[in-house]
A and B are shown apart, each in its own frame.
Chain A
Amino acid sequence: MEFGLSSEQTLLQDSINRFLTDQVPLDEIRKVAAGETDDAKTWERLTDLGIPGLMVSEANGGLGLSSLDAAVVAESLGYHVTPSPFISSAVIAPVVLQLAGTREDLLGGVATGETRIGIAFAEAMGARRDAGISVDNGKLQGKSLFALDSDANYYLVTTVDKHIYLVSADAAGLEVKNLTTVDKTRTTCELIYSEVEAELISDDSAVFDKALDAGLVAIAADTLGAAQCALDQAVTYAGQRVQFNRVIASFQAVKHMCAEMAANLEPCRSMVWYAAHAFNEIPEEASMMASHTKAHLSEVGQFVTRTATEVHGGMGFTDLVGLHYWFKRAGFNRQILGSPEMLRERAASIQNLAA
Chain B
Amino acid sequence: MDLSFGAEYEEFREEVQQFIADNGDKSPKQGGMSNDETISWQKLLIEAGYAARTIPKEYGGFGAEPDIIKSRIIAEEFSGAQLSTGLGGQGISMLTPVLLEMGTEEQKQQFIKPTIHGDLIWCQGYSEPGAGSDLASLSTKAELNGDEWVVNGQKIWTSTAHRADWIFCLVRTEPEAPKHQGISFLLFRMDTPGIEVRPLVDMTGEVNFNEVFFTDVRVPKGQIVGQRGQGWQVANAILGHERGSLAPPDAAQTRLNGIIKLMNTETINGDKLIHNPVYRDRLMKIQGRVLAMKCNDMRLLSARINKNQDAKLAGMIVKLQGTELRHELESLAIDVMGEIGIAYGDNPYLRGHGSWQFQYMFFLGLIIGGGTSQIQKNIISERGLGMPKEPKVEK
Interface of A with B (CB < 8 Å)?
1-6, 68, 235, 238-239, 246-247, 249-252, 255-256, 258-260, 262-264, 266-271, 273-274, 277, 281, 289, 292-293, 295-296, 299, 341, 344-345, 347-348, 353-355
Contact = CB atoms under 8 A, between A and B. Distances in A.
Contacts of A271: 291-292, 295-296
Interface string B277-306: 100110111011101110110110111011
B389 interface: yes
Nearest to A5: B1
Residue picked from B3, B4, B387, most chain A C-beta under 10 Å: B387
Given A256-B377, A296-B288, A250 B313 contact: no
Give the top 4 A-B pairs by smallest Cβ distance, nearest first.
A3-B302, A344-B284, A270-B295, A259-B377
Contact of A2 (B1, B274, B292, B295): B1
B291 A292 contact: yes
Given A1-B302, A4-B309, A296-B289, A68 B284 contact: no
A277 to B, nearest CB: 5
Given A255-B378, A268-B292, A296-B289, A239 B298 contact: no
Given A344-B288, A347-B284, 16 more contacts: A3-B302, A4-B302, A4-B306, A6-B1, A256-B377, A259-B380, A267-B317, A270-B292, A270-B298, A277-B3, A292-B284, A295-B285, A295-B288, A345-B277, A348-B283, A348-B284
B272 to A, nearest CB: 9
Nearest to A275: B295
B299 A2 contact: no
A296 B291 contact: yes
B2 interface: yes
B288 A68 contact: no
B284 A345 contact: yes
Nearest to B309: A4
A3 B293 contact: no
Contact of B305 (A1, A239, A268): A1
B391 A246 contact: yes
B352 interface: no
Interface in B362-381: 374, 376-378, 380-381
A292 B288 contact: yes
A250 B3 contact: no
B267 interface: no
A234 B284 CA distance: 30
Contacts of B317: 262-263, 266-267
Nearest to B275: A355
A219 to B, nearest CB: 15
Contacts of B361: none
B348 interface: no
A268 to B, nearest CB: 6
- A-side interface mostly: helix
A212 to B, nearest CB: 17
Contacts of A262: 313, 317, 380-381, 384-385
Interface of B: 1-6, 69, 260, 274-275, 277, 280-281, 283-285, 287-289, 291-293, 295-296, 298-299, 301-303, 305-306, 309, 313-314, 317, 320-321, 374, 376-378, 380-382, 384-391
Contacts of A353: 260, 274, 280, 283
Nearest to B321: A263
Contact of B391 (A6, A235, A250, A258): A250
Contact of A1 (B69, B313, B380): B69
Given A1-B302, A2-B305, A271-B291, A260 B377 contact: yes
13 contacts: A1-B69, A1-B305, A6-B1, A247-B388, A251-B390, A255-B381, A262-B317, A267-B296, A271-B291, A271-B292, A295-B288, A344-B281, A353-B260
B385 A341 contact: no
Contacts of B3: 1, 3, 277, 281
Contact of B298 (A3, A252, A256, A345): A3
Contacts of B299: 3-4, 269-270, 273
A46 B390 CA distance: 45
Given A263-B320, A296-B289, A345-B284, A1 B387 contact: no
Contact of B292 (A251, A296, A354): A296
Contacts of B380: 259, 262-263
A2 B313 CA distance: 18
A277 B377 contact: no
Given A271-B295, A348-B280, A258 B387 contact: yes
